[in-house]
Amino acid sequence: MGQFSLADILSKSSYLVCLTGREMMVEDGIDSMRDMKTAYEIELKYGYSPEEVFSAQFFSTRPEQFYEFYRSEVLAQAKEPGKAYGALAALEKTGILKCVITRQLFNLEKRAGCQNVYNLHGNIYENNHCPRCGRIYPMDYMKKGKVPLCETCGVPVHPGVVLLGEMVEIGKITRAADEVSKADTLLILGSNMRTEIVQQFIKYFQGDRIVLINAASHFADREADYCLYGKIADYLGEVLQELKQKPTEKKG
């Protein structure tokens, strides 16, 4: 791939779309629960794997155990967005970045200031709802009692995230796929070319350049046009510095 300027590639893009993967939030100290050691510890603690507990079936049949897990392993990890997310928001303000697509649950992109975000699996802050009447509850309410119950219906409140076994809103996927189909440059952050989010959307990409930044290399990364390995925050920070030194015309 040789030497290349990430700032030049991104600034010359007419429609840049970004996919953010779980390694991006791991960089900020959030455990994705995909690590084998973490998964083993969770199974020892709860008697079930993370995939079993974080499922629609478990929520329906064992709400107390589900919420013990959800509070301790998910809500407890809520943190402020790190520098990489702030850099994405700054890149969007320049007009270069058009949208961000993610499956992560902590709403880090939007909380950092990104406006056009497709949270495919929802997030812990929004749309915590009663499955019967639809009443919405804030995240703090999800920490009350052994099981947060709807004050109107008395049934367990459903978190604002998509649980395993549930369908993602098809309209949201369609709109995100349309964004990818319009992109001339696809920026993949914190993911390799074989993860679910990349495999889900790469088939819609008709553009010229795929740029991948991740902590470590993967054999499938050869499918990307440009690859960088290390801290995403550092690379995006350098891009912003270069763009400040050589201002680019804001793209509409």
Report the catalytic residues.
121
Of 135, 126, 138, 127, residue with least CA distance to 154? 135
Task: Tally DSSP H helices, then E strands, for the chain.
Answer: 11, 8
Of 161, 158, 163, residue with least CA distance to 147? 158
Of 187, 190, 220, residue with least CA distance to 27? 190
* Residues with Cβ within 8 Å of residue 33, at least 6 apart in sequence: 39, 42, 50, 73
DSSP 135: -
Of 68, 85, 69, residue with least CA distance to 29? 85
- Check: CB of residue 12 under 8 Å from CB of residue 251: no
The DSSP code sequence of 18-81 is EEE-HHHHHTTT---S-SHHHHHHHHHHHSS-HHHHTBHHHHHH-HHHHHHHIIIIIGGG----
Of 31, 7, 26, residue with least CA distance to 82? 26
